[in-house]
Amino acid sequence: MRKGFLTFAAVGLLATGSMAACGDNGGSSDEAGGSNAKKPKIGVILPDSKSSARWEGADRKYLKAAFDAAGVESDIQNAQNDKTAFQTIADQMITNGVNVLMIVNLDSGTGKAVLDKAKSQGVATIDYDRLTLGGSAQYYVSFDNEAVGKLQGEGLSKCLTDKGVKNPSIAYLNGSPTDNNATLFKNGYDSVLKPKFDSKEYTKVADDSVPAWDNAQAATIFEQQLTKAGGKIDGVLAANDGLGNAAISVLKKNKLNGKVPVTGQDATKEGLQNILAGDQCMTVYKAVKKEADAAAELAIALAKGERKDTGQTVKDPEGGRDVPSVLLEPKAIYKDNVKDVVADGYVTKEELCTGAFAKLCTDAGVS
């Protein structure tokens, strides 16, 4: 999957090389982000605000802060999971003079169309968080998403062991089938859990993807899984905190919450509160500020006609390209280290430790 792999724990590690604004081999305006004389302006399209709280609660503010600190004009918009709106926003940004476009695609087809149009107009592009398969982005900035999935698989196994569950029946709530990240997460947790299914140590009773990461659909899907399994599901591999919370809502109705380990991802306030309450066994923390800062650094360089060497690439399996990439390292979060997410500033104690969660925070050492 990756070539020359390494993970970046912080930004500021990228070597800079100046790029000419013209020429056929690596110096055209579509590769370098346009003429150095053009005032830098960066457009960002976020995917939605429902699948995860991170997009509006974290990515937007961190990206804007990074651009503002560099004195670079930016336009950050949200497509709200609407493919037509996604394309319209991109067209407007190109028309309004952005010289770098950063996208979180809704699917690779829509993303590719936007990236190709931007390239044809001399606008440099970055895939942010999700790789656009068959796309043309100059850079890809994300986390090691197979490592995210591996942490989820290991987390579910740990929680089942801690509860002393023998031959557990496992249900999968995978992410959107059109999101390449969901495929990578599944590759990661399958690497841990498939050997257990093969050896009959665990039994997989359900394996469903959730269209568009839609939490309402996830609840319906999980309710059907639970019914089909005769009420016997011992562990839920949920691909993010939103899907995890959907499963937990169904478990609560059946008085099974806290008895059935549920995984997650994104370390959202809701996910962390579910962990503190004992309803969710773990989540995966991805330090979004580091991701946003790394992407902003690359975008600003492109807007100024420069290229930065990331030192690693990711293979696009559809396009066959080795895409220059920055991949950050994820971290597993359980009840005993929820405090690490607060200490990092991603969620504040005031946001997390409200009402009944105040004592739970104290018990977990959150300060």
pLDDT at 196: 98
If asked whether residues 6 and 123 sit together in one domain, one would say yes
The per-residue pLDDT for 236 is: 98
Structural domain containing residue 65: 2-143+287-331
Evaluate whether residue 294 is within a structural domain.
Answer: yes
User: Is residue 27 domain-shared with residue 118, that is, in the same domain?
Assistant: yes
240 shares a domain with 153: yes
Domain co-membership, 258 together with 242: yes
Q: Which residues of the chain have pLDDT under 70?
A: 1-37
Question: Token pair 């996830």 is at which residue?
Answer: 218
Cα–Cα distance for residue pair 212/49, rounded to 1 Å: 12
Give domain status of residue 347, yes or no: no
Q: Is 98 a domain residue?
A: yes
Same domain, 255 and 293: no
pTM confidence score: 0.86
Q: Are 167 and 201 in contact (CB under 8 A)?
A: yes
* 190 plus 315 within the same structural domain: no
Is 231 within the bounds of a domain? yes
Same domain? 53 vs 80: yes
Distance CA 14, CA 18 (A): 13
Instruction: Compute the CA torsion angle 294, 237, 55, 361 (nearest 10 deg).
Output: -90
Q: What was the pLDDT predicted at 14?
A: 52
Q: How many domains does the chain have?
A: 2
Same domain assignment for residues 42 and 129:
yes
Q: What local confidence, expressed as pLDDT, does residue 22 receive? A: 30
Q: Are residues 7 and 139 in the same domain?
A: yes
| 348, part of any domain | no
151 and 139 part of one domain: no
Are 110 and 210 contained in the same domain?
no
CATH number, domain containing residue 197? 3.40.50.2300
On whether both 41 and 139 belong to a single domain, the answer is yes
Other CB atoms within 10 Å distance of the CB of residue 292: 26
Q: 8: closest CA among 246, 243, 329, 319?
A: 329
Q: Tell me what pLDDT residue 61 has.
A: 96
The answer to whether residue 87 is domain-embedded is yes
Residue 270 within any structural domain of the chain: no
pLDDT reported for residue 37: 55
Domain for residue 76, yes or no? Answer: yes
